[in-house]
Each structure stands twice: as C-alpha cells, then as structure tokens.
Structure 1
Amino acid sequence: MSIKFGRKQMKKIFFAVLVLGVPALAIAADMTEDQKTLYFLGKAVSSKIKQFDFSAEESKYVIMGFSEALAGTTSKVDDTYGAKLNEYLGKKQEAIVAKQKDSAKPFLEKMSKETGAEKLPSGVVYIPVKEGTGLMPKASDMVKVHYHGTFPDGKVFDSSVDRGTPAEFPLSGVIPCWTEGVQKIKVGGKAKLVCPSDTAYGDQGAGGAIPGGATLVFDVELLEILKEPVASAPAKTEKAKPAKKAAAKETKPAAKPVN
C-alpha cells in the first residue's frame, strides 16, 4: 500500500518527531521502504540540532523554516540571519554547558566518597570494582577492553558490552579520563571511571549524543594489553563513542570527539 504525504501531513510528522518525540510510525504505520528511508533522513537531520535543547516554542519556528524551505516557498527572513543564528546557537550551547556542569557537581562529590574511590589529579574519580592479576598498561600501550558508558542519570550512550565486541585502541589516543584511569587497572580487573567534562568531551560534546559539559561514567574491564597496533579497528557508527583525537565526523571507542 502506497501512502502519499501532503505538505500539512509532513509538517505534522516533523512536529511529532522534532518536538513531541512521537515516532512517525504511529502516524503512518504503512510506510513504503522509500518513505521509511526519507523518514530516516528527517531523523538524521533532527539529531544534528537536538543537542541545542530547543523549547516547544523555539522548535515551532525551526519546523516552519524547514517545511517552507523544503516546499520552496518564499522565505520570511533574509540571509543576514545566518550570522544571527550562529550567535543564537552559541548562547544556547553556553547555557547547556553551564547547566550540565552545575548539575554534575553533586554527583561528582557523591562518587568521590564511594568506598575505595580515589580522586585523580585531573579530577577523574577512579573506583576499583575488581582487582586484576596482570600488569598495568602504560600510556604508550594498545589495550583491549570492555566498557559501558552512561550519563550520571544512568542513561547508556555507548557500550561495547551491549554490542558484545571488545574495543581495542591506544591509550595515547583517547580522552584524558581513559588515558589516566585505565593505566591504574591491572589486566583482568574492572573499575568505574567518573569523568568530568574537561577530561572527556569538553564543552563541545560529541555530536548529538553527548552534550557539551557532560560528565560521563564508564565501567571498564581491562581484558588485555596489546603491544602492537591492531590491524582492524572497531567499525565507525553514527553513535558517539569515546573516540580518537584525530578529526572525524564519527567517533571510535574512547577517543576525543571532533565535531
């Protein structure tokens, strides 16, 4: 069964996806494969601006501009608003970063008082979970680990454990929290790393998945120390991960984001 979307119906779908978070499938359950592909395009576009945490009122005008530009109607504003947009988004980003950092302070304080917790020089909170029996890696080593990354509220943003595939990477090429914290884990051991934003993805965040200023929590198990670089690195995905310092639009396990 083929379904054709009119302009009004498309605006309702965009409003549901971008503002209400209601799956478009609830509106059009019988979409064709092409329509599902186009729906995914809308989802991908929205993920790029979701990080700015627009209110329902703000989103109304974003959707209006998107819908009218897509339909080819005459623009209600001129191109001079491009510069104003940069300024507006900059202020939104600053507010988000400040909110993230302020809300994380009680959590960081609480975690630093957990049994066995150690606050490292950078501010990272290291909490041993299971003592390993092997060697501890150096910053110059490659390591194989399993990790489970969450926000302070417990929401998962990335997990090699959930994927069922360990990650392999050089400790010299990851976010500072990992470079410092993983060196304290013996092979076979497990630890929790609580990473303040300046030891993780900083004020810029990582794509739309990790907001700027976010404190992150990683449960890490050190499986092996690899002295030589591995031939096959973990495949890139759209989901932001602890990623490499090298610039890339998508990130790999445990390295710095580069948006």
Structure 2
Amino acid sequence: MRLGVLSAVLVALTGLQATAQEIKTEDDKTIYALGLSIGRSVKMFDLSPAEIEIVKKGMTDALTGAKTVVELDQYGPKLQPLAKGRQERAGQKFLENAAKEKGATKLPSGVVYKELKAGTGATPKASDTVKVNYRGTLITGLEFDSSYKRGEPAEFPLGGVIPCWTEGVQKMKVGGKAQLVCPAKVAYGEQGSPPTIPPNATLVFEIELLSIGGQGADVPRADPPKK
C-alpha cells in the first residue's frame, strides 16, 4: 500500500507524526480537515513512490520559500488533465482486476457484476421500483454513501438512477446481494458528483435487493447521458 502523500510530507518536514491526542482545539481539528482535503485530492493522481518524492519536494519548496523548479502559472493548468488521465488509468486497471475475480461477469457496458449471495425471488425490470440496501465506495475504499449508515433502505425507480445500477440490478433476484464495479461513463462521468465523487471515478457498490414495487426515490441519480 502506498504511503499517504500528506503524511509523507509532514514526516519529511517535521520528523514527527501527529497523533489523535494532539488534535484538541477547534483550530487543530480544522487544520486536520485541511490535511484530509489535501490528501484526498492528491490521492486522485495515483502516484508512484518516486512521484510522491517529487510532491514532497514541491510542497517543501513552497513552504520554505525556496526557488521553485517550475512556475506554477505554467504547470498548474496541467494538473486537471493529469488527474483525469490518472483516474482513468487507475479505474481501468481496477476494472480489469475485478473482471478476473471468480464469479465475476463483465456486462456489455463494461460494468463488472459479481453475485455475492444468490436471491430466490423475482428479477426486476428497468420500469420497476425497487427497495435496496447498498454501500458505495471509490476504488481507494473510501465510502461515499451508505443506506446502512442512514439506517433505512433506499427505494427508487430502477430506470431513474445511474446506468450502472439500471443494468446491474436487473441481473439480481430479490433476497440476493451483488457487487457492481461501475466505469465512470455509466456512473457520474467527467463531472463526478462533488464533493464526494471525483470526476472520471470508477465506483464500487454492494447492493442487497430487498423487494420490487412501492414508491419513492433517494439513491444515486444521474442526468441522462449527453449525446
């Protein structure tokens, strides 16, 4: 597992690693949140150990006022395209590995479907309303949504959610549980869903299909794909 960029920088600059006990005041907690925000942003770049060292040098030079190797005005605009390419690369690798797992099936859209528990009930159609429990994570394992944490299942029209769900849940039977690995193009695409889902993000969902029928809607939705 790669060393977190922010932790590496702090160790390099201070020789110390903060502990939870040292984060006491409201300012401490807010500054810690700044660290979380920076770390999560940098993690999008899928950096190698050598690249982490370069990030450390850039942050050290900025914090100490040293002469910089490049001009931020020139290279700053290149950060977003780099992040996009790295996200796509990491997502594709994750999808390829997921498709190789025992019991996994790659669907026509590129979604990787894996049954975790067989259901015995009916199978929904795209026009149905379904009730599910689910958990959604980024490929880093960071959880961005969970009906379990909210303490109640989600109920929604299957044709009104992200395409990955519409396609994948139709393969399930009531009582079953499945994992969907969703390419960005059938999830939230280039826009993402700020602040929790970055652009071009491959997503992982674990879904339990509880029932078919009923009314309501409160889970991951997306606008119709742009032509």
Shift in Å, 1:93? 3.1
Gaps of 5+ in 1: 1-11, 235-242, 247-255
Does the 8 A contact of 2:155 with 2:214 survive in 1? no
Gaps of 5+ in 2: 1-5
Shift in Å, 1:180? 0.5
Q: Name the residue aligned to 2:91.
A: 100
Structure-1 separation of matches of 2:42 and 2:124: 39
Q: Name the residue aligned to 1:195.
A: 182
Q: Name the residue aligned to 1:7.
A: none
Does the 8 A contact of 1:132 with 1:185 survive in 2? no
For 1:15, what is the secondary structure of its paired residue?
helix
TM-score by length of 2: 0.66
Aligned-CA RMSD value: 4.3
Report whether the alignment pairs 1:60 with 2:57: yes
Per-residue deviation, residues 25-48 of structure 1 (Å, max 9, x unmatched) = 36x716323322332234234433
Does the 8 A contact of 2:193 with 2:199 survive in 1? yes
Q: Name the residue aligned to 1:219.
A: 206
Per-residue deviation, residues 138-180 of structure 1 (Å, max 9, x unmatched) = 3244432112445678x46354346644233332333222111
Q: Structure 1 residues 102, 118: closer, same or farther in 2, change over 3 A?
A: closer
Q: Which residues of 2 match residues 167-206 of structure 1 at below 5 A?
A: 167-202=154-189
For 1:244, what is the secondary structure of its paired residue?
coil
State the AA in 2 paired with 1:16: L
For 1:143, what is the secondary structure of its paired residue?
strand
Structure-2 separation of matches of 1:37 and 1:199: 35
Q: Structure 1 residues 147, 23: closer, same or farther in 2, change over 3 A?
A: farther
Corresponding pairs, count:
211
State the AA in 2 paired with 1:57: I
Shift in Å, 1:60? 3.1
Does the 8 A contact of 2:129 with 2:156 survive in 1? yes
TM-score by length of 1: 0.59
Shift in Å, 1:220? 1.6
Structure-2 separation of matches of 1:18 and 1:185: 49
Shift in Å, 1:13? 8.2
Structure-2 separation of matches of 1:30 and 1:197: 37
Q: Structure 1 residues 17, 49: closer, same or farther in 2, change over 3 A?
A: farther
- Seq. identity, %: 41
Structure-1 separation of matches of 2:161 and 2:193: 13
